[in-house]
Amino acid sequence: MNTRSIWRPDKDEVIVENGAVATAHPIAAQVGVDILKSGGNAVDAAIATGFCLNVVEPSSSCIAGHGQMIVHMAAERRNVAIEYGHRAPKAATADMFKITGQAVTGNGIYQVEDNANAVGHRAVGVPGVTAGMCRAHELFGTLPLEQLLEPAVHYAREGFDADSTTTLGIANNMPNFSRYGEAANIFLNNGFPPPPGTKIFQRDLADTLERIGREGKDALHRGEIAAAIDEEMKQNDGILTAQDLADYEPLVLAPAETSYRGHRILSCPVPAGTVTTLQILNILENFDLPNLTHASPEHLHLYIEAARHAFADRYSYVGDPDFGPVPTSGILSKNYARLLADAIDPMTAKLEDEREIQPWVAYADSPLHDPWPHDSQPSPEHTLPASPPSDGDCTTHFSIIDRDRNMVACTQTAVGGFGSSVIVPGTGVLLTNCMVVFNPMPGTANSIQGYKRGLNNMSPVLVLKNDEPFLTVGAPGGRRIICRIAHIISNIIDFGMSMQNAITAPSVDAAERETFIDHRIDPETIETLTSIGHNTKTVPEPATGGAFSRPRGILINPQTNNLHAGVHPFGPDQAQGY
């Protein structure tokens, strides 16, 4: 057997008594902690952190982006999901894009002429981040909104130093910036990406953020800025309107929920990624994982098979339940999970067959399972085949716990890198490319329809232990978020890992045809998995994500009540606390 050198990076776990923030950028982490120290609660810190990330991590989130926030308020024992995700403009139609190619290998979404569903004005959807953050503030905020936006305003107006991650993101989007000039004016330095250490200024955005601090949601969704967005769309063949902006409201919902070995797992309802994360855990609960060796062939085989069963249902049934029936309670049924667990052979990979060449197509045409008998709704006579969202990797996540043990898990996205690449002149507002999350082919559960929510991969999760707050976790990383979050929760509950160790531990991903195996896993284990039928591909975990998602989380040590915060070991991710 050949041997090779293996890089094994890590970061120190942050252990504190009072409050902690785990996020994508040191500036945003410090902003969140400062809010906690000044008397704000976890939601206050989340609002300040989220708006700050819109400034200092511009490729991954923006004030006209999309997101989900799960909140646990400890004193009230109240759990809330705030859903402010992707919506198509009301004028959107199933056939609005011209399909020019077959399904793209790796995501199952058809190629569109001029990439128009991913870049430019027709790719723009109805924004949600500002509305969602303002709704969270109305429900749970304690400090003035204007105070919470002050840090974001400061870094937009006075600038922040680009790091290598920012420079790389800008470099990757140079062709789009050149095509849509306002973004080039802001993010390019004499026509080139800014070298690390160069200050990036977003002064128009600073003015818009100040207005949001004074006026709330209406600063973006009504008035002069909404009119400027509307005019930008009219002049450039876009379909988002000022009326779409005025009509938008985030949803305040009961979280989607399951249990895992006595823990309550809370997240956002469909059409998010978490229904699949929770289903993976439901299936795994039927196996005695704590008595297996972590990352052994036996352990990883069960995990991969559980994930493949869950993704088969995702590719067959999941879409926006407002536009067609989705068997959510059936998919999350414990009895149904037991049936799927019984179908797993402990010695053979059964799901690695010819259908894995295009799993989303195959499972849509001929579903592997039927959750409808376990659902609270009657089985429909006919349902449309589902399809996954395009697999973008330009998302952010932050987790926060305060001194009162209120918890927040929040995932937000610009969808693709710098969204649509369209910035509305005079406003600094970057518009996302949310239309890319839909299937541009008519006739599927995730096809385009006016005001429909596109299927997304976000999976922010809160966990309660004995009905007390225990942990918050989530990640950016496209479709690969889903497996990773289930893996981290299992690492903590089944194997007793700390938060940082659970995040750093080598992972696997079974969302697509090939099962990605972290190159740090024992080569003999990988050989065994291959020999029993898994279609494996050994990959590194690069700083930019790619093969795996980039988790961030915080847990409460039940013995000490201290907070233990961890982040992805690569890149600028940082946890801070006090």
Residues near 223 by Cβ (< 8 Å), separated by ≥ 6?
A: 215
- The verdict on whether omega for the bond into residue 271 sits within 30 degrees of 0, i.e. cis, is yes
Q: Which residue's structure tokens are 């006209």? A: 64
> Which one is catalytic: 130, 395, 504, 536?
395
Quickly state the pLDDT bin for 1 (edges 50, 70, 90): low
Closest residue by Cα to residue 552 from 473, 488, 482: 473
The full set of domain ranges for the chain reads 274-374
Compute CA 276 distance to the chain's CA centroid, rounded to the nearest angstrom.
13
Q: How confident is the model over 131-156, as a mean pLDDT?
A: 98
Lowest-confidence pick of 34-48, 456-470, 541-555: 541-555
Identify the pLDDT of residue 126.
97
CATH 3.40.950.10, domain 274-374, yes or no: no
Lowest-confidence pick of 29-38, 65-74, 219-228, 313-322: 313-322
Q: How confident is the model over 251-275, as a mean pLDDT?
A: 96
pLDDT in tens, 88-100: 999 999 999 999 8
Residue type, 226: A
Identify the pLDDT of residue 24.
95
Cβ count near 3 (within 10 Å): 6
| CA distances (Å), origin 468, targets 220, 334, 415 | 37, 22, 33
Identify the pLDDT of residue 109.
65
Compute CA 312 distance to the chain's CA centroid, rounded to the nearest angstrom.
20
233 pLDDT above the threshold of 90: yes
570 pLDDT above the threshold of 90: no
**CA 566/CA 578 separation, integer angstroms:** 14
Q: Can you give the three-state secondary structure of 527-538, one letter per residue? A: HHHHHCCCCEEE
pLDDT in tens, 385-419: 666 555 556 799 999 999 999 999 999 999 988 99
Tokens (6 digits) for 404: 């009162």
E-assigned strand segments in 263-337: 263-267
Tokens (6 digits) for 504: 């750093």
**CA 280/CA 267 separation, integer angstroms:** 14
pLDDT in tens, 265-287: 999 998 899 999 999 999 999 99
Tokens (6 digits) for 94: 């199933």
pLDDT: which is higher, 41 or 446: 41
pLDDT in tens, 427-451: 999 999 999 989 888 888 889 999 9
**CA 46/CA 247 separation, integer angstroms:** 25
Assess contact for 209 and 148: CB atoms under 8 A: no
Identify the pLDDT of residue 202.
98
207 pLDDT above the threshold of 50: yes
**CA 302/CA 290 separation, integer angstroms:** 13
**CA 412/CA 132 separation, integer angstroms:** 10
Q: Which residue's structure tokens are 């976000």? A: 458
Return the H-helix or E-strand segment holding 136: helix 129-140
**CA 214/CA 206 separation, integer angstroms:** 13
Q: How confident is the model over 515-534, as a mean pLDDT?
A: 94
Active-site annotation holds for 395: yes
The DSSP output letter for 347 is T
Lowest-confidence pick of 190-204, 317-331, 541-555: 541-555
Going by their DSSP bridges, the two strands 199-200 and 552-556 should be labelled as: unpaired
